[in-house]
């Protein structure tokens, strides 16, 4: 098949949407499909099968977009038509400007269209400081459905969690496929030593963009309340606009936390060498970073937020803390530090649960979805 992938967001592989897009693109190419990529990543201008549109100018938000390392696309009708000409199917990653423009042109040319659901309404309301106003989130979901998702032939949901939220908000059943984005095969459990200065410390890792909805501040505050705080070494793998705020919170910790962005290969070594993984996010429609920790067989502690899919990954309640509650998170961390034998047992349980998120299996299901939609048309 000739498949056009439309990416409003593409750039460095430092965010879930870009990682999901690139994994899908690479997998489909490896399966022998002709894959075209429509995006605004100017660094790919001369690459084969990449169709590059201009970068969207957001004026007051340009610095924020640069800080989180992504590129947003501005539609160009001529480039879009080139990318769609002769395609068997179009897959749109997210319903932003480029995705909406591509959908209109694809439908005008009677092309089947599938679309990913990679944008949680609560991510938008959190940025505006209105994440607790449920009515606004419901309105955003309603707009997403009316303007975009009701017009596509099938929706790809990375988790049943986000499908259920979306369908409950719009009060309609959709033609959807629940398929995890999957964890790359190179992410696996393997021997990895701590750096020498950390050998006597308990290394706790969290990964993700530094933002309100990821709530890394809860973990920083939790270490203050831990009875093991003198021995804890925090690693916050990521980058983002809240870095200075997090550094301020960390000033009184006995061991200064590490704030650093790691490459995809580097993070696997960090995952395998840490003692605990904590995912504090209040909002997460799948949580690939969390799944990567599980694939490495790490004892993984998650929040119970009703807006986060990661709570469903916990082995049981002993690995869950009340979201936004640093004292209770400290209690859970201390429990697992104090019970190393049980921790070893649970790490094996996590490892055993990871096979459902094998990326090759998930990409086979994505390919099957494309065939089914094309054949249905």
Q: Are residues 366 and 323 in the same domain?
A: no
Average pLDDT, the chain: 91
- In a domain? residue 239: yes
Asked if the model's pLDDT at residue 19 lies above 70, the reply is yes
- In a domain? residue 200: yes
CA 101, CA 114: separation in Å to the nearest integer?
Answer: 14
CATH number at residue 345: 3.40.50.2000
- Tens of pLDDT, residue by residue over 262-313, are 988 899 999 999 999 999 999 888 888 899 999 999 999 999 999 899 999 9
Q: Are residues 149 and 40 in the same domain?
A: yes
Q: Are residues 136 and 210 in the same domain?
A: no
CA 333, CA 72: separation in Å to the nearest integer?
Answer: 38
Asked if the model's pLDDT at residue 61 lies above 70, the reply is no
pLDDT value at residue 120: 82
Strand partners, 32: none
pLDDT value at residue 263: 87
Asked if the model's pLDDT at residue 246 lies above 60, the reply is yes
Domain count, the chain: 2
The beta-carbon contacts of 360-366 under 8 Å, at least 24 apart in sequence, are: 360/27, 360/182, 360/185, 361/182, 362/179, 362/180, 362/181, 362/182, 363/23, 363/24, 363/27, 363/28, 363/31, 363/182, 365/177, 365/179, 366/24, 366/27, 366/28, 366/156, 366/179
- In a domain? residue 189: no
- In a domain? residue 188: no
**Distances in Å between the alpha carbon of 84 and those of 11, 22, 79, 149, 155?**
21, 19, 9, 19, 19
- Tens of pLDDT, residue by residue over 87-117, are 999 999 999 999 999 999 999 999 999 999 9
Strand partners, 237: 207, 260
Residue 137's φ and ψ, nearest 5 degrees, are: -60, -45
- Tens of pLDDT, residue by residue over 191-212, are 888 988 899 999 999 999 898 8
Summarize the confidence of residues 10-14 as an average pLDDT.
78
- In a domain? residue 75: yes
pTM over 0.85: no
Q: Which domain holds residue 234?
A: 196-356
CB within 8 Å of 163: residues ≥ 6 apart: 117, 155, 157, 174, 176, 178
Q: Which of 128-132, 166-170, 226-230 has the lowest mean pLDDT?
A: 128-132
CA 178, CA 157: separation in Å to the nearest integer?
Answer: 5
């Amino acid at each position: 098949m000739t498949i056009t992938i439309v990416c409003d967001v593409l750039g460095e592989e430092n965010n879930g949407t870009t990682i999901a897009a690139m994994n899908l693109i690479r997998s489909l190419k490896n399966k022998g499909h002709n894959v075209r990529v429509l995006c605004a990543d100017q660094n790919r201008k001369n690459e084969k099968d990449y169709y590059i549109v201009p970068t969207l100018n957001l004026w007051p938000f340009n610095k924020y977009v640069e800080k989180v390392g992504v590129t947003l696309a501005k539609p160009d009708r001529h480039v879009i038509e080139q990318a769609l000409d002769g395609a068997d199917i179009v897959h749109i990653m997210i319903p932003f400007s480029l995705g909406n423009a591509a959908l209109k042109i694809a439908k005008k040319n009677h092309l089947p269209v599938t679309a990913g659901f990679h944008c949680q309404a609560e991510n938008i309301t959190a940025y505006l400081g209105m994440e607790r106003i449920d009515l606004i989130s419901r309105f955003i979901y309603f707009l997403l459905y009316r303007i975009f998702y009701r017009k596509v032939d099938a929706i790809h949901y990375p988790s049943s969690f986000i499908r259920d939220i979306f369908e409950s908000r719009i009060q309609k059943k959709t033609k959807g496929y629940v398929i995890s984005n999957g964890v790359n095969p190179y992410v696996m459990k393997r021997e990895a030593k701590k750096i020498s200065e950390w050998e006597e410390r308990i290394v706790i890792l969290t990964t993700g963009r530094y933002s309100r909805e990821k709530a890394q501040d809860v973990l920083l505050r939790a270490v203050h309340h831990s009875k093991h705080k003198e021995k804890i070494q925090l690693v916050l793998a990521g980058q983002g606009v809240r870095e200075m705020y997090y550094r301020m919170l960390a000033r009184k910790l006995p061991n200064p936390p590490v704030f650093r962005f790691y490459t995809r290969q580097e993070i696997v070594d960090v995952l395998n060498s840490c003692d605990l993984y904590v995912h504090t996010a209040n909002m997460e429609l799948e949580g690939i970073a969390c799944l990567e920790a599980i694939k490495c067989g790490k004892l993984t502690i998650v929040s119970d937020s009703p807006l986060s899919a990661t709570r469903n990954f916990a082995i049981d309640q002993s690995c869950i803390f009340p979201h936004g509650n640093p004292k209770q998170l400290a209690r859970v961390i201390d429990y697992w530090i104090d019970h190393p034998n049980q921790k070893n047992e649970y790490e094996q349980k996590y490892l055993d649960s990871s096979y459902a998120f094998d990326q090759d299996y998930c990409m086979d299901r994505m390919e099957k979805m494309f065939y089914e939609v094309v054949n249905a048309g």
